[in-house]
Structure 1
Amino acid sequence: MARKIEREEALDRALTLFWDRGYRGTSMDMLTSTLGVEKPSVYASFGSKQKLYLETLLQYRQLVLDSVQGMLDEAPDARAGLDATIRKLMARGGRTERKGCFATNSALELGDEDPEAQTIVRDTFAALTTLFRKAIQRGQAEGTVRIDWTAEVLAQYLVNGIEGARIMERTKASNRAMDQVAALTLSILDLPLQQAARG
């Protein structure tokens, strides 16, 4: 039990625990049990429960951004990448997957109580918006995404839709409802003539 803590392994395990139980619902005893170390090792490696939580938020941000960038890069064109990525991010997770978005969960739980966590969450959403903005700009240049709204506004709309879907998932919304919301969210990218055809 007193073995030296492995930082990356510890962050992975702590992220899962915080994601499942939240910051307040996770005790130091739970952390030491999950990480397989004594409290002095946790304090020596991370300083405090709060600092460990902040590191897991940072790790989550990198995981999300890497995943989104990968999905966008693998697509044959910008619009296909946006469609596939948004549908994936707005779909209900499997039984073994964590529920909701860890960053959104953090914002809802801690609100203004933890300015450092709030900053990380805000930066996470900003970085995600930037990835979508760049993809939307490519789509606009390719003629597959509307140009009467700026790429920045469209990207912010997509991020809002994704985070809303993650909250829907936590409230046990149906797969059909979440799929419909994803389709409606993606329709904001359509060219005006395509929107008219939908009507």
Structure 2
Amino acid sequence: MKPAAAEARNSLAWQAQSLLLAYPDDQLADRLTLALKVAATQPKPIAQPLVRFAEHAARTPLQELAADYVATFDHRKRCCLFLTYYAHGDTRKRGTALLGLKQTYAQAGWQITDDELPDHLAVVLEFAATEPALGSRLLTDHRAGLELLRLALRDANSPWVHVLDSVSATLPTLAGDERTAVLRLAAQGPPEEQVGIDPYAPPMPAPGPAPVSAPVFLPDPVVGGPR
């Protein structure tokens, strides 16, 4: 596949994945419909996990799914949606990493709101959907954290593991050194130094997704052709 075609395909996938990682609310049915339309345009390794999650979400009462989301991402450290946490924990280095992400967004002419942290996976995927070359680099840079999150969701038997399976399928096959990084993070966990991460937020009580509790909304994807 030519690079331009691959970027267009991945843009749609990343947009759908971002929507599915948002908090389940009364917009969920529309998001599931869009995700299924996107899945129809994707290769099997990307599409099948999207379909599996959409089918689970469609047959689960909304209140139950929302409670599961909070229990998974707000109350489990190992299922943190903030990507820089896996490499840096709540240390000073994390503040630097957050600033770097925000600068990358700004250089691309892309702004996030004050109540969002730039390393939330749904935000990174949203950015990747609009800036696929830069977004692919960011996702690859945080590959160890992504894979660790995917393992944690699998261990928890969480339906959101399907979304992470789909994300992983859009990225290059893991190389040996990346596998080592994943194993090291799994064994050691992130650093434990607790400091503030201003100017983005006060000291965080827990690494769950509380600062981005509202869903990340995206425009409808243009299915069937390049963006």
Asked if Structure 1 and Structure 2 have the same fold, meaning a TM-score greater than 0.5 normalized by the shorter chain, the answer is no
Report which of the two has the higher share of helix.
Answer: 1
Query: What TM-score, normalized to structure 1?
Result: 0.31
Q: Which has the larger radius of gyration?
A: 1
Q: Between the two structures, name the one with larger relative contact order (CA 8 Å, sep ≥ 6).
A: 2
Query: What TM-score, normalized to structure 2?
Result: 0.29
